[in-house]
């Protein structure tokens, strides 16, 4: 059918159209109905499909993250065990409260064993730092250079942790050298001390700032 014949068709009398024109008109109407139905009826389904695809992408990303974590879980467990073993080894180098006197004796004997003369050996007050305490010991020894050096080496080789700090070495009038230092040693708190420390913290937190402490009883007036 030619284009000129299509232009001459009367839209008010489609029944008089030739069959080719009727078929073309039917096809155009059918396609229009299908497109309009798709836009009106399937639009919600398209939106649902888009949301489902977006959720699928998020689930895939979450899965990959969990998978990477699962792969590294064994490595993390191994590192945790190694850390706990290292912590246990360090704690073994900290004496308990009952072992502190023996440790102080070991420090004293390390100096006497090298032929040093103790001019001062004064343990200080313990300072609590978390789950362990630090105790300074002010010492002053006199002797020759080699013995003082060996004494410092012996302190470092003790099975318990002891450090020498604030070291000052000077000549003495009688010959030889004197060494002033602060030896610091550490010990872990036992369960009773930790419990007492926690109870003290709770008692402090229970008292509000600016609130006076309540007295245990009522005072009576004098008659």
pLDDT value at residue 81 = 79
Give the Cα separation of 114 and 116 in Å (integer): 6
| Segment 85-123, tens digit of pLDDT | 776 666 666 666 667 788 888 888 999 999 999 999 998
Nearest 5°: the CA angle 24, 28, 29 is: 115
Question: Which pLDDT tens digit goes with each residue over 62-77?
Answer: 888 887 777 777 777 7
User: What angle, rounded to 10 degrees, do the helices at 100-113 and 145-156 form?
Assistant: 150
Nearest to 141 by CA among 162, 161, 113: 113
pTM of the model: 0.49
Asked whether the beta carbons of 107 and 162 are under 8 A apart, the reply is yes
Please tell me the distance from the alpha carbon of residue 127 to that of residue 67, in angstroms, as a whole number.
47
Compute CA distances 106 → 99, 159, 190, 207, whole Å: 11, 10, 22, 44
pLDDT of the residue at 217: 46
Angstrom distances, CA of residue 49 to CA of 45, 58, 59, 195? 6, 14, 15, 60
27-41, 42-56, 95-109, range with the lowest pLDDT: 27-41
Point out the least confidently predicted range of 9-23, 133-147, 160-174.
9-23
3-state percent helix, strand, coil for the chain, nearest multiple of 5: 55, 20, 25
Kindly report, residue by residue over 189-213, the tens digit of the pLDDT.
766 766 777 777 777 777 655 555 5
Comparing 39 with 128, the larger pLDDT belongs to 128
DSSP of 28-57: HHHHHHHHHHHHHHSHHHHHHHHHHHHHHH
- Measured between alpha carbons, how far is 33 from 22 in angstroms, rounded to an integer? 16
Task: Tell me the angle at which helices 43-92 and 19-41 cross, rounded to the nearest 10 degrees.
Answer: 30
């Amino acid at each position: 059918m030619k284009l000129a014949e299509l232009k001459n068709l009367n839209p008010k009398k489609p029944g008089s159209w030739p069959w080719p024109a009727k078929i073309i008109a039917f096809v155009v109407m059918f396609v229009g109905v299908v497109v309009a139905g798709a836009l009106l009826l399937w639009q919600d389904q398209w939106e649902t499909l888009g949301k489902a695809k977006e959720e699928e992408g998020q689930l895939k990303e979450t899965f990959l993250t969990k998978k990477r974590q699962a792969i590294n879980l064994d490595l993390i467990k191994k590192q945790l065990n190694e850390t706990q073993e290292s912590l246990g080894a360090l704690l073994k180098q900290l004496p308990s409260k009952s072992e502190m006197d023996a440790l102080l004796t070991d420090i004293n004997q390390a100096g006497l064993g090298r032929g040093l003369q103790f001019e001062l050996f004064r343990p200080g007050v313990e300072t609590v730092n978390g789950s362990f305490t630090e105790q300074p010991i002010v010492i002053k020894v006199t002797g020759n250079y080699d013995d003082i050096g060996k004494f410092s080496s012996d302190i470092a080789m003790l099975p318990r942790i002891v450090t020498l700090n604030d070291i000052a070495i000077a000549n003495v009038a009688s010959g030889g050298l004197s060494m002033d230092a602060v030896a610091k040693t550490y010990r872990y708190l036992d369960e009773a001390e930790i419990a007492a420390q926690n109870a003290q913290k709770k008692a402090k937190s229970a008292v509000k700032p600016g609130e006076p402490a309540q007295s245990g009883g009522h005072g009576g007036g004098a008659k």
